[in-house]
Structure 1
Amino acid sequence: MSFRRFLIKRTAIAAILTLVAVSIIFATLRFLPSDPFSGLVASGSLTPEQVAELRAMYGLDEPIWIQYLKYIQNLFTFQFGLSLTEQRPVWSILGPALRNTLVLLLPALVTTAVVSSLAGMYAGWNRGSWFEQTGIITTTFFRATPIFVTGILLLIIFSYGLGWFPAFGMRSPVANPQGVTETYLSMDFLKHYILPFTATVLFYSGDFLMLARNSVVERKGSEFLKLHRAKGLSEMEQLARAGRNSLLPLVTYFALRTGMLFQGVITLEVVFAWPGIGRALVDAILNQDYPTVQAAVFIMALAVIVMNLAADIAYAKLDPTVEAGDV
């Protein structure tokens, strides 16, 4: 199979998965036993006539199939509409929240991938050493511990106990940063950033360390390394060549993990009160803010699907046998 056919097939599968995901989101919200306005009538905040006007404004009084078609059109053009609770464009809420999430997660993931992969390669090359045993035990412990538990432990020790770092938020209440530079490159931001960053790194380090370790262990006794050993290459040069041949699973796993990070970000952002997309989603669910919930879940689902597609493409480029065998 040519790479072009492979790419078309994988892209078509990603598009179908995206359509299925957004359809599930629509059905889940529309068939709930109550709508966002039912509580307003019960509390006496609005009259039934006023609620009817609001339902008409948001198109909730139209037939379900018309709502669905408009919903699909709006999502795929990134026209998310107005928030029910804040009465402002949903993107004005989720845009900054998504940026805050990416600022937290992407540096943490890159740091984890680089440091843990190098450590895993060294551990695999030195099997049975104290470094390997300590690395496996430590990273396995943090990987088995839910990320929100790790976050709570860090807060208890370094925030409430030692008082080294702030407990919540992305900046101090008195801070009034102007522009991106003051927001993300200030000491106040750094102090708030360290604990959630550390929790993310600790949680995902075990994946990359074990993957790199196992890849190097598999290749340590291979024929190409025996040839390099016979040529008189040093241990570090042999390890470098084994590491390069272990990059395929690491690169593809990095792409997959980038998308899947959104799964863990919800609890992490709630624990640290980080103003990201995970926390915005939780707030929207509690307020039954349909447009914001739909948009947030759509962005998360799209990230997972796109990064899975990227992983497929990267794997096919790095290993042509995958592309050739895909029928």
Structure 2
Amino acid sequence: MSDFQRFLVKRVAIAAGLTLVAVSIIFFVLRLLPGSPFEALITAGNLSEAQVQEIRSMYGLDQPMWKQYVSYLKSILTFQFGYSILRSRPVWAVLEPKLINTLILLVPALVTTAVLSSLAGMYVGWNRGSKLEKLSIIVTTFLRSTPVFITAILFVILFSYTLGLVPAFGMRSVVASPDGYLDTYLSIDFLHHYVLPFTVAVLFYSGDFLLLARNGVVEKKGSEFLKLHRAKGLSELEQLARAGRNSMLPILTYFALRLGMIFQGLILLEVVFAWPGIGRALVLAIQQQDYPLVQAAVFIMALAVILANLFADVLYAYFDPTVSTSGGGAA
């Protein structure tokens, strides 16, 4: 077995172990929380104690903890997430539209930021010491240090309440009645609601990509291969293109990691804008202690992040063989 194959097997084993740890933690934490998902229904008078016990038995919540845990692991391994306790619908039927809404918002934002911020970072890195570089570092440092919910609230105050240019909350107007996915995501009403959270998400992602690209180009600018290209008479733009291409690995790795984290949504962003994504759905499910819904959402998010880390490690090991021989990784 080659070094790379051993490295791959080791990383897959670590990813499987991390997934087990993540889903186990959420299982036990949920059941250690005070209260239960039925308290609100009992308080409202919708269910009697006998009916609650019947539902508890239906979901296996009357069984010993270890039996619940074994049943939970079986359901996770087979992707059979069961039914939401409070919504009386299959968990996946509840989560699927929420996940799509999150991806519709964050994937375009991430791709847009990765492309534009990386190009901008390469340019300012090539012009190191200029006023533009100093200004870009100040702006990106400010964006990276400002919590996303603060930026979101400021944008809502300015563009929604003060200027009245765009709606503050939601994905579409109450009066809008979309017919299918195309009508939902390609309508003017949707785009009107989309522009503000999309802009905040772009700003949130931009700082890291710009600094990564800038640092990569600064590092490559004084390298021997660029001196050779300069001696051959290549133009500044051609030299910049080669420096940028040779500094892409950290950017691609970070993009892969961020792409995995998209599946958990920008929870605070979704809450501020009342965007019906998976992050906001998870917050509501935790508040309601809807065990099957929370467990499935956390599993999807954890799996996406762990797989993204695995992909980043493999990407590094493939392009840099010293990583697999030393046992290191991207994360």
What TM-score do the two structures reach when normalised by structure 2? 0.95
Matched, 1:250 2:251: yes
Q: Distance in 2 between matches of 1:4 and 1:275?
A: 42
Q: Distance in 2 between matches of 1:220 and 1:4?
A: 34
**Residue deviations 1:4-51 (CA, integer Å, cap 9, x gap):** 222221111101100010000111012223222245445554332222
Q: Distance in 1 between matches of 2:137 and 2:295?
A: 40
Q: What does residue 47 of structure 2 align with?
A: 46
Q: What does residue 109 of structure 2 align with?
A: 108
Q: What does residue 32 of structure 1 align with?
A: 33
Q: Which deviates the most, 269-278 or 30-39? A: 30-39
Amino acid across the alignment from 2:259: T
**Residue deviations 1:150-185 (CA, integer Å, cap 9, x gap):** 111111111111111111111111111112211111
Aligned length: 327
**Residue deviations 1:266-310 (CA, integer Å, cap 9, x gap):** 111011110100111111112121111111111111111111111
Q: Distance in 1 between matches of 2:196 and 2:307?
A: 29
Structure 1's 143 and 5: CA in aligned 2 closer, same or farther, altered over 3 A? same
| Aligned residues of 1:80 and 1:90 also touching (Cα < 8 A) | yes
Amino acid across the alignment from 2:230: R
Q: Distance in 1 between matches of 2:45 and 2:281?
A: 27
- Which secondary structure state, in structure 2, belongs to the residue aligned with residue 104 of structure 1? helix
Q: What does residue 234 of structure 1 align with?
A: 235
**Residue deviations 1:120-156 (CA, integer Å, cap 9, x gap):** 1111100121221221111211111100111111111
Structure 1's 175 and 41: CA in aligned 2 closer, same or farther, altered over 3 A? closer
- 1:234 Cα deviation after fit: 0.7
Q: Distance in 1 between matches of 2:96 and 2:262?
A: 18
Amino acid across the alignment from 1:67: Q
Unaligned runs of 5+ in 2: none
- Which secondary structure state, in structure 1, belongs to the residue aligned with residue 266 of structure 2? helix
Alignment of structure 1 residues 1-327 onto 2, 5 Å:
1-41=2-42, 44-261=45-262, 265-326=266-327
- 1:68 Cα deviation after fit: 0.6
- 1:322 Cα deviation after fit: 1.3
Q: Distance in 2 between matches of 1:264 and 1:79?
A: 22
Q: What is the identity percentage for the equivalent residue pairs of Structure 1 and Structure 2?
A: 69
Q: Distance in 2 between matches of 1:263 and 1:276?
A: 9
Q: Distance in 2 between matches of 1:96 and 1:36?
A: 23
Amino acid across the alignment from 1:2: D
| Aligned residues of 1:158 and 1:165 also touching (Cα < 8 A) | yes
Q: Distance in 2 between matches of 1:130 and 1:111?
A: 25
Q: Distance in 2 between matches of 1:229 and 1:94?
A: 54
Unaligned runs of 5+ in 1: none
Q: Distance in 2 between matches of 1:125 and 1:209?
A: 12
- 1:262 Cα deviation after fit: 5.1
What TM-score do the two structures reach when normalised by structure 1? 0.96
Amino acid across the alignment from 1:65: W
CA RMSD of aligned residues (A): 1.5
- Consecutive aligned runs of 4 or more in structure 1 exceeding 6 Å deviation: none
